[in-house]
Amino acid sequence: MTKADLVERIAERAKLSKKDSEIVVNTVFQSIIEALTKGDKVELRGFGSFRARDRQSRVGRNPKTGESVEVPSKKVPFFKPGKDLKKLVNGG
Amino acid sequence: MTKVEIANRVAKETGLTKTKASEAVESLLTIIKEALKNEERLEFRGFGVFRVRKRKARTGRNPRTGEEAPISEGRTIKFKPGKEFKEAIINQGE
């Protein structure tokens, strides 16, 4: 499924114009990204939660030269599926 | 941030009523859930990819008692953030 498919299905299901449906999709994704950027987390009941997780710095290697390089610590987006969603994919 | 806050923002951006906007957000989540139930792969440019991964059955151990316990095969959801999403988070002010 792509974003275009999602837009179409929401339009159908929620009886919206495609234009509004597209705004819905973009606003939801953009809100999640912005919340995490601000250090906030997003909890969507029945679906799951998004938060930024810390990844520690590590010593990596340049695959071409074999040289060691320090990869700095950073934050990465993380999605944790909710109970309902976990059950659903396990046929529950 | 919760579903209500996201729905309010959707209402503002689209001009839909709050009720209609929260219905739309709920539809979005339901459609994604149903697709994952069918083990579909979802790829949303700029946001990320959701897919279902199978986990093999294995023998686990009760950490408290040390007893072995079988863990049955299962499915789990993997989210891989897209480039724009990752970059937005990395560049956040610390």
CB contact B21 to A (< 8 Å): yes
Which residues of B, range 29-88, sit inside 8 Å of A by Cβ?
29-33, 35-37, 39-48, 50, 52, 74-77, 79, 81, 84-86, 88
DSSP secondary-structure letter at A17? -
Question: Of the candidates A13, A47, A89, which has its C-beta nearest B27's C-beta?
Answer: A13
Task: Give me chain A's average pLDDT, please.
Answer: 94
ipTM for this prediction: 0.88
Q: What is the DSSP string of B2-24?
A: BHHHHHHHHHHHH---HHHHHHH
With tokens 């941030």, the residue in question is B1
Summarised one tens digit per residue, pLDDT across range A68-87 is 998 888 899 999 999 999 99
The pair of three-digit structure tokens given for residue A63, joined into one six-digit string: 């695959």
Residues B30-65 pLDDT 10s: 999 999 999 999 999 999 999 999 988 888 888 889
Residues 6+ apart with CB under 8 A from B54: B73, B74, B75
Q: Quick one: pLDDT at residue B12?
A: 97
**Other C-beta atoms lying within 10 Å of the C-beta of residue B12:** 12
